[in-house]
Amino acid sequence: MQSLEIMQEKLMQSVMVNKHPLLNSRPVLFSEEMLRQYDWSPTARMYLKAYKLVEQGLEILWKSNFTDARGISLIAYGYLTVDSILQAFPSVQNKLLPSILKLCEENLLKNPCFFEGLLLSFALLCYDSAGKNSKENTKLDRRRLMCIENLIHFIQRAEPSSIPSEDPFKFDRNYSSWLHVLYYHMAAIYTIAGAHEEAAEACENSLKCCPSYCDAKRFLGYNFMKLYFAKIKECHGDILVQLPNSTVEFPCNKQRPCDSRMSKYASWTAEKVRGTAVKMLKEYLEEMPCCFKYYPNAYYFLAYIMLYAENNMTEFKKYYELGQDAEEKRLPFFGPYNHQIKDLMTPIFQLSSSVQQHVRCGNKACTGKVKGNDLKSCGRCRNQKYCSK
């Protein structure tokens, strides 16, 4: 009972704070020395690559007195690699911002296809500007979405015959190598707005542009999970437990950007949506390094599905525990793990762990009372156990 009260208090605090999901309240000042401590980690190497790109870009800008646009391109590549890397360079957002934006504008006037300038203008103007959920920030999200959609359109028009990228972090070959990241950012804005159908479609477009961009699978699995519970709610009315919603709604008329057309997922059954969510999350866990920042999320999403969609306590506990293990493997500089879905499930996990489960035969038709040592492992799977009856 105490755990349930603690959970309720945490959720109430979250609602009261009402922070915008893009607000970074605990920025990490990455440094080369800090990142090099984790050379064994693919995640740390990715962050180090992004750091060096931004650092080199700033060095070029300084040496050229903010006239060499190559510096803008390198900073843009760093942002595409890890969007949060700019927080390691506070001067970019403070005293250097006017000079950088001026150089972007000058080069865009000379060459409208200088998309590095468009991207960096978008990134810097939106950087750390999100505060509390409000109508103003909802409008800002709409403008963000419009900027990304326009940039995608410009790139596709400039490079109509582009092929999918093989390397998800090689951004200097052509502009089409940016598309998977831009679609991913689009999905994030749709998710914040609660438009999960559009978010899922953006994630699928991200994977079409770069099938090896694994993080889009985690995001796709999450949005399919949200769609599944929405479908269940439509069919059966309110359900007892709903997914916590940290997103900001569009204005009070609740019109979504794509309401004028039928969603491609409208004809999907709830079971198909749920199955696809599970598939995407499991593929993500197989393909991504366990040191990645959001790796535990996928385990907790699976635990949530097993608990509330499949009512499978065994699988729920398994994935919850795997999520706990994954938290220990995240890189330390990411800070303590925190997610609403975990908070929601923690009291249930604690209660279920404190209750001793009765030993039962794997044959659901079997009603006999048996002891644990009377059960024999299945000769095929070796996982399920049966009595001799």
pLDDT tens digit string along 45-89? 999 999 999 999 999 999 999 999 999 999 999 999 999 999 899
**Do 295 and 326 meet the contact criterion of CB atoms below 8 Å apart?**
yes
Tell me the Cα Rg of the chain: 24
Distance CA 228, CA 180 (A): 25
Helix ranges, the chain (H): 2-17, 32-36, 42-63, 70-81, 90-93, 97-110, 115-126, 135-158, 179-192, 196-209, 215-236, 270-287, 295-308, 313-329, 340-354
pLDDT at res. 19: 54
CA geometry: angle at 295 spanning 240 and 172, to 5°?
125
Distance CA 45, CA 336 (A): 21
Give the single-character DSSP code of 385: E
CA geometry: angle at 41 spanning 70 and 53, to 5°?
5
Number of other CB atoms surrounding residue 116 within 10 Å:
27
Residue 251 buriedness (CB in 10 A; 0-12 / 13-18 / 19+): exposed
User: Mean pLDDT in the chain?
Assistant: 82
pLDDT at res. 1: 43
Distance CA 279, CA 238 (A): 26
Distance CA 365, CA 325 (A): 35
Distance CA 310, CA 303 (A): 10
**Do 42 and 291 meet the contact criterion of CB atoms below 8 Å apart?**
yes
At 173-210, the pLDDT tens digits run 899 999 999 999 999 999 988 899 999 999 999 999 99
Check whether domain 132-257+267-285 has CATH 1.25.40, yes or no: yes
pLDDT at res. 90: 87
pLDDT at res. 258: 47
pLDDT under 70: residue ranges of the chain? 1-27, 126-137, 236-262, 355-365, 367-389
Cα–Cα separations (whole angstroms), residue 353 to 24, 298, 305, 312, 325: 34, 21, 18, 14, 16
Chain-centre distance for alpha carbon 210: 16
